[in-house]
């Protein structure tokens, strides 16, 4: 579950979309993990998971997203913060959704310092998938 199961959650909770999981080693560096299309709108989503606040977004992933966005594409970074309770932290299962041009901010900052397009807490079934879909397809 390298991506925190996000690809499967998008596919399961947005079933009317046409989804394609992308095997990055076959298509090039920086290409997002998931491609989807709904109602004529195509999106790309880079899925990340973290136990803490830092997102492991690589510079080539941020650059790909920014290039595609400048060409009119819709690219997002979905981050699942999934951690167990410990002596100094509470358990968390959260989804953060960022736009394509926020990649450099995520590389330099973290989930506490970069404002997401949306953030949801609780189990994936509790995340507001109607709002998530609206963010993905709105121009």
Domain ranges, ordered by start, for the chain: 6-137
Looking at per-residue pLDDT, the higher value among 66 and 25 belongs to 66
Confidence of residue 3 (pLDDT cuts 50, 70, 90): confident
| Mean per-residue pLDDT, 40-55 | 95
With cut-offs at 50, 70 and 90, classify the pLDDT of residue 25. Answer: low
CATH match for 6-137 among 3.30.420.40, 3.40.1350.10, 3.40.50.9100, 3.90.1580.10: 3.40.1350.10
pTM of the model: 0.93
Nearest to 33 by CA among 75, 94, 73: 75
Alpha carbon distance 36, 19 (integer Å): 4
């Amino acid at each position: 579950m390298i991506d925190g199961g996000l690809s499967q959650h998008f596919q399961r909770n947005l079933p009317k979309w046409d989804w394609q999981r992308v095997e990055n080693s076959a298509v090039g560096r920086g290409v997002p993990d998931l491609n989807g299309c709904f109602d004529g709108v195509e999106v790309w989503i880079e899925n990340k998971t973290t136990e803490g606040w830092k997102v492991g977004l690589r510079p080539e992933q941020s650059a790909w997203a920014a290039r595609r966005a400048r060409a009119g594409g819709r690219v997002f970074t979905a981050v699942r913060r999934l951690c167990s309770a410990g002596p100094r932290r509470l358990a968390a299962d959260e989804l953060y959704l960022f736009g394509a041009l926020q990649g450099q901010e995520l590389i330099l900052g973290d989930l506490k310092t970069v404002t997401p397009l949306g953030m949801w807490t609780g189990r994936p079934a509790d995340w507001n998938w109607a709002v998530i879909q609206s963010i993905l397809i709105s121009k």
